[in-house]
Every structure is written in C-alpha cells, then in structure tokens.
Amino acid sequence: MRSSWTGRILLALAGSRRLEAFVRRHGKRLGVDRFVAGADLEAALAVVRELEARGFGTTVDRVGEGAREEAAADDAAAAYLELLDGIGRVGSRAHVSVKLTALGLDLDREACRGRVEAIAGRAKAAGSLVRVDMEDSAHLEATLELLGEVRRTHPEVGVVVQAYLRRSREDLLGLIAQGVRIRLVKGAYREPPDIAYQRRDAVDRAYLDLARLALAAGAQVAFATHDTALIAAIQREAAAMGRQREQVEFQMLYGVRPALQREVRDAGYPLRVYVPYGRDFYPYFMRRVAERPANLAFALRQLRDRAR
Ligand SMILES: Cc1cc2nc3c(=O)[nH]c(=O)nc-3n(C[C@H](O)[C@H](O)[C@H](O)COP(=O)(O)OP(=O)(O)OC[C@H]3O[C@@H](n4cnc5c(N)ncnc54)[C@H](O)[C@@H]3O)c2cc1C
C-alpha cells in the first residue's frame, strides 16, 4: 500500500543491490539503529528485556529474507533456535516472527517446513510463540499452505493478514474458522491494483472492516498499526462489543511512534513491540523508510551532517 510516488520508488529500491551495499556500509549513519535493535542476539535480548521491564510485550524478528541456498536457510533456522534459547535463558516472554523465504520457502518446501517445525517446537519449550510474517503476494499461497501443514503438529503458530489485499476478507474468515492466531496489518509491499487497494483511504476502510469482523468473531487477533484513527476506531468497536481492554492487543514496530506506544500501553491495552535484529537489515529498513519518506530526509540529513 503506497500512495506517494516517493514511497513507491523507495519500495522499488528495496531490491537494489548497489543501494543495499551503500546502506549496509553507512547503516549507522543513515539511522538504521532507529528501527533495528542491533546486529546480534545479545543486543536484541537487551532491548527485549528493557521493553518488558517497561510493561511492553515483544516479538523478535531476525531480519532476513529470500534465502538463495539451503545453507543460508539452515543458518537462519539455527539463529532462531539460538534466539529461542536466549529468550528462555533470560526469562523473557518474547514471541518470535519468521519470514518463510528466509527459511527456504523458494528452495525445498519440505526442508522449509522442517525448519519451521523445529522453531515452533523450540518456541514451545521456551514458553514463546511463533507467528509467520506475510511477505509479497507471490508467496502468499505457499505461506498459507505451509502454515496449514505446520499447524497439524503446532496449532499455536500464527500468521499475518494484510488488509491491502482484496482477497484478505476471505482468507481472514478461513483462518478464523480454523482458530489461527492472527496479526492484522495494512501491508508493506508493492502490489498491483488488480489484487491490492492502492489508495490509503481504501486500505484503511478494509483494515477497519477486517478488524470489526475479527472482533465480532472473537478471533485471536492483534492489531498491528501506528494509525491513531484506526486504533481509536478499534478501541471504540471493542468497547461496544463488551471487550475488556486487556483482551485487545496492539502491536507496533521498534522505533516507530514510541510516544503512541506508551500512550496505548498506559490506557491499559497490551502493546507488543516488534523488535528486529541482525545484519541483513536492508529490505526491512527500506520498507520502513518507504512508509514515511520523511525517514529518508532524516537519513540524508544524518549523512550530510556527518560528512561536514
Ligand atoms: C508488529 C508489526 C508487524 C508487521 N508485520 C508485517 C508483515 O508480516 N507483513 C507486512 O506486509 N507488513 C507488516 N507490517 C507492516 C505494515 O504492513 C505497515 O506497512 C506498517 O505498519 C505501516 O502501516 P500503519 O498501519 O502503521 O499505517 P500508516 O498509515 O502507514 O502509518 C500511520 C502513521 O504511523 C506513522 N508511521 C508509520 N510507519 C512509519 C515509519 N516507518 N516510520 C515513522 N512513522 C511511521 C506515520 O506517522 C503515519 O502517519 C507490520 C507492522 C507491525 C506494526
């Protein structure tokens, strides 16, 4: 969902190898630290503990996507197992999010499923939960299919629904019927108009429709957005349906609208912060910049000031 031309260009640049090399080299100066908790596990765990001490829930994401070889997918899976051990070790209640392409979805599907099952098993042992992020629409069917397979042995594994996709109402109803834990988001990728709403107001309307539907069905749903109008509307709907505040979870990204995060928490709603860490931050960072091109101006100012 991108209504501004700068946003669209920035999302297109998320695939640029040359820009990736530049951003990787100058990551710190470009302000990557605002959105990414650190390069390694210990940095992520430190942020998680600090957030939990302040009354926030957390979801940890080891950044990375699009594994091109099995070894890279194995590395990603091993990092998640280590992360879950770390979560258990420090007594955290963090959840984890995985991207299936990082775990080899485009390679050997069976091997990918095995990795997700191993992660889900380790999560259970650590008292954590796994949610599968939703990537671009080219991976949607395969993601839902694999989720269905994994849920035969790990029914607690959840998934993300993107409001910008025209098909999401049907997907959401199907997932609710199966009792799947859902995170509702607007959607962060560049998708064509035949499958995705392009206008911001259409996406916002779709989001609220899906939110109402999920609330009315009593689904296990978390509302991931920084949109104050949507948050207020969902809070009103939930109250009208007699939901207690502690039953209505909101989720936001590390570094995005921290004052709003505190405000929602202070109002008595569970607020879960999505904490990304790792070295392969480029596509994640570019999606955050595309969501709010003012972030790019910030990044460029940082570079200019340091160059002086
Ligand atoms: C916990 C979580 C998990 C997510 N998982 C997925 C996923 O699996 N798949 C997927 O496609 N997308 C995912 N997203 C991203 C989501 O799809 C949106 O792209 C993102 O949340 C921005 O949309 P918004 O709902 O905040 O609304 P917007 O209308 O984009 O933003 C509302 C307001 O929030 C502020 N804001 C939003 N983004 C930023 C930013 N990057 N920097 C500074 N301010 C900002 C701006 O002030 C803006 O006016 C996730 C988001 C969250 C919060």
Interval 159-201: pLDDT, tens: 999 999 999 999 999 999 999 999 999 999 999 999 999 999 9
Active site (annotated) includes residue 133? yes
Mean pLDDT score, 111-135: 97
Which atom of ligand 1 is closest in space to residue 260's alpha carbon?
34
For residue 162 and ligand 1, the question of a CB distance below 6 A is answered with yes
Ligand 1 centroid–CA 228 distance in Å is: 12
Ligand 1 centroid–CA 152 distance in Å is: 31
For residue 224 and ligand 1, the question of a CB distance below 6 A is answered with yes
Residue with the nearest Cα to atom 9 of ligand 1? 134
The number of helices, as runs of H, and strands, as runs of E, in the chain is: 12, 8
Distance, CA of 218 to CA of 215 (rounded, Å): 5
Considering the candidates 61, 122, 131, 133, report the single residue annotated as catalytic.
Answer: 133
CATH for 36-280 is: 3.20.20.220
Q: What is the dihedral of CA 45, 223, 282, 199, to 10 degrees?
A: -170
DSSP H stretches of helix in 178-226: 200-216
pLDDT of residue 34: 87
For residue 291 and ligand 1, the question of a CB distance below 6 A is answered with yes
Q: Where are the domains of the chain?
A: 36-280
Handedness of CA 9, 11, 17, 19 (dihedral sign): positive
What percentage of the chain has pLDDT greater than the value 90?
77
pLDDT of residue 160: 98
Residue with the nearest Cα to atom 44 of ligand 1? 256
For residue 283 and ligand 1, the question of a CB distance below 6 A is answered with no
Burial 56-90 (b: 16+ CB within 10 A, else e): bbbbbbbbbbebeeeebbeebbebbbebbebbbee
Mean pLDDT score, 122-134: 96
pLDDT of residue 30: 75
Residue with the nearest Cα to atom 35 of ligand 1? 226
Angle at 157 between CA 153 and CA 158, to 5 degrees: 145
Ligand 1 centroid–CA 89 distance in Å is: 31
Of 253, 264, 284, 298, the one to substitute when testing ligand 1's pocket (max ligand atoms within 8 A of C-beta) is 253
pLDDT of residue 264: 98
Q: How many CB atoms lie within 10 A of CB 165?
A: 22
- pLDDT of residue 151 exceeding 50, the answer is yes
- pLDDT of residue 8 exceeding 90, the answer is no
Computed over every residue of the chain, the mean pLDDT equals 92
Ligand 1 centroid–CA 261 distance in Å is: 13
- pLDDT of residue 101 exceeding 70, the answer is yes
Note the pTM of the prediction, 2 decimals. Answer: 0.93
CA 65 vs. chain centroid, Å, equals 12
121 HSE (CA, 13 A, CB side): 9
pLDDT digits (tens, 9 = 90+) for 20-69: 777 777 777 777 888 999 989 999 999 999 999 999 999 999 998 899 99
- pLDDT of residue 78 exceeding 90, the answer is yes
For residue 137 and ligand 1, the question of a CB distance below 6 A is answered with no
> Which of 106-110, 203-207, 279-283 has the lowest average pLDDT?
279-283
- pLDDT of residue 82 exceeding 50, the answer is yes
Residue 283: pLDDT band (50, 70, 90) is confident
Task: Specify whether the CB–CB gap between 128 and 96 falls below 8 A.
Answer: yes
Distance, CA of 159 to CA of 42 (rounded, Å): 26
Active site (annotated) includes residue 183? yes
Distance, CA of 172 to CA of 182 (rounded, Å): 8
- pLDDT of residue 307 exceeding 60, the answer is no
Considering the candidates 62, 131, 183, 288, report the single residue annotated as catalytic.
Answer: 183
Mean pLDDT score, 229-243: 97
What percentage of the chain has pLDDT greater than the value 70?
94
For residue 98 and ligand 1, the question of a CB distance below 6 A is answered with no
pLDDT of residue 2: 47
